[in-house]
Amino acid sequence: MTDIAIVDYGMGNLRSVSKALEHVAPTASIVVTSDPAVVQKASRVVVPGQGAMPNCMRELTSHGLKDVVLEAARNKPFLGICLGLQMLFDESEEGNVKGLGILPGKVRHFSHDAMIDSDRNKLKVPHMGWNQVHQTIQHSLWKGIDSDARFYFVHSYYVEAINPEITAAYTLYPTPFTCAIAKDNIFAVQFHPEKSQLAGLTLLSNFTKWEPHSSR
């Protein structure tokens, strides 16, 4: 049986995610796959993603992976990265496309008019580069990571969750936005742990050992 399936629907930094997981879990069986049967049988599932949300949802469906991703999000340790976070919500302003609807909320575009920092400097969209992640809950995936550790971001959209209790961390750009969510067996992040050096590798390592039904 596969320990960790990295879902390949044609959009994602799959090699970097795979190499990072292999580094932190060298004895685990880790596969990058577009085969729904392999995803279904895997013990843990990682859904990365880069690009546009409409393409993401279209490709997920065309590869026959939508149903197994929904199933994984219901019953096994699930890690979403970037679009893998955004797709969990009801809908996105990017193309006005429907998401998977697992979590109530919307994916919104950074407002260009609001992109002014405290020194009156204009901030760029997309939000790209290193930024602090401020943890708001205790969680197994935060173990060994400073509460204001820096992670690497590349995105123009962010999630607006209806239920604030699922927010696991926020980042300022320039105002707070949710950058990590946690609910039951799901943990998903807007940043890229595979590009975030020690903090990112620690998070991925924690995921490979996480038992969500025994403890948070």
Active site residues per annotation: 82, 192, 194
**How far, in Å, CA of 106 to CA of 54, rounded?**
14
8 A C-beta contact, residue 107 and residue 157 = yes
**How far, in Å, CA of 40 to CA of 69, rounded?**
8
Strands 78-81 and 186-189: parallel
Tokens, residue 170: 């926020």
**How far, in Å, CA of 79 to CA of 87, rounded?**
12
**How far, in Å, CA of 120 to CA of 160, rounded?**
25
CB contact set of 74 (below 8 Å; sequence gap of 6+): 185
Q: Across the strands, what pairs with 129?
A: 153
